[in-house]
Structure 1
């Protein structure tokens, strides 16, 4: 992933709960991970738009976010935990694609496309990655997923999944993040409440 991204980030309390889970690891006796690229620290987020050019200002990116109607709440519901075949989608939460979430993404993409040379992406939308694991270690993705279930940190619940007691979150923050270089060097450029 390179360039600038626009993320939907859980509110602070839920972000902390999710981060505790994302920082957990399988027991050393179970883990086979040797790669320094596996298990980097990053903030929980749903990518609304990525591959934005670095020349696009933070203000212009945040201005692409439509105003939220007064009194409305954006509900994010966790659908399932999935093991993927791509580094940035190694182990992720599939998110229920609600009409309001899809409209938010579509409106942002339409606004961003008005800037020359901007073609926003949001692969496998909507999802929230829990772990990035080196593509050379696909078995590790299953090991950490099994660990989440065995340790009681993840469980099926009402047609979805609960992770650390959370089945989703309401409302959020929107962050602009420079996603260049190693994950640990990504930089938050701006934030707004949504």
Structure 2
């Protein structure tokens, strides 16, 4: 499927987010390709034409931590965007994305980044349908995701992730700090438990 550039949460936040991602449900049958283990990230760009050298050249020589603010829990119509959190287009995030897209385009890599910016939290196979994707989103709202005015944040469109196994360990994330850009080679099968290799 090609190479991608991912903006990654700092390691502590990455672990917290990974703990609350949906797992295969035990109460209903779903496809083996649904609910694989995924690594939360923002896709800055993907290309089926780019070589690793081209991808490396597209990354700015100086990188600073990028604030990533959650906006809304959404259900999509594509496997890789089955259930995702849309992200606010902050100046820093847009500038990094545009720099990378322009550099890749100049090298003839035909980059893409559909529905930029977003953070996928579930991949659900097409055969499980929109109903399963909506069910996954509803279950997240019941256990993990706080939306809208209830977040205590400004604006109607805001999301907080409730991370932690108990009330004492609970951490509320309305954002994360993007501290690394990963180059990943995307595999085309997700039913092996992991979708990507670094």
Structure 1 residue aligned with 2:60, among 49, 59, 66?
Answer: 66
Aligned position for 1:191 = none
Structure 2 residue aligned with 1:40, among 19, 36, 41?
Answer: 36
Aligned position for 1:141 = 133
> 1:51, 1:73 → 2: CA distance?
24
Aligned position for 1:22 = 21
Aligned-pair CA distance for 1:173: 1.0
Aligned position for 2:91 = 99
Aligned-pair CA distance for 1:24: 4.1
Aligned-pair CA distance for 1:68: 4.1
Aligned-pair CA distance for 1:181: 2.3
Aligned-pair CA distance for 1:62: 2.6
Which TM-score applies when normalising by structure 2? 0.83
Alignment check: 8 A CA contact 2:86 2:117 kept: yes
Alignment check: 8 A CA contact 2:34 2:124 kept: yes
Q: Give the root-mean-square deviation of aligned CA atoms.
A: 1.8
Structure 1 residues 104 and 94, CA gap change in structure 2 (3 angstroms): same
> 1:39, 1:73 → 2: CA distance?
29
> 1:185, 1:154 → 2: CA distance?
24
Q: Which blocks of at least 5 consecutive residues in structure 1 are unaligned?
A: 189-194
Which TM-score applies when normalising by structure 1? 0.84
Matched, 1:122 2:113: yes
Structure 1 residues 122 and 45, CA gap change in structure 2 (3 angstroms): same
Q: Aligned with 1:38: secondary structure?
A: coil
What is the number of residues matched between the two proteins? 178
Structure 1 residues 95 and 35, CA gap change in structure 2 (3 angstroms): same
Matched, 1:169 2:176: yes
Aligned-pair CA distance for 1:171: 3.2
Q: Which stretches of structure 1, 4 residues or more, deviate above 6 A after TM superposition? A: none
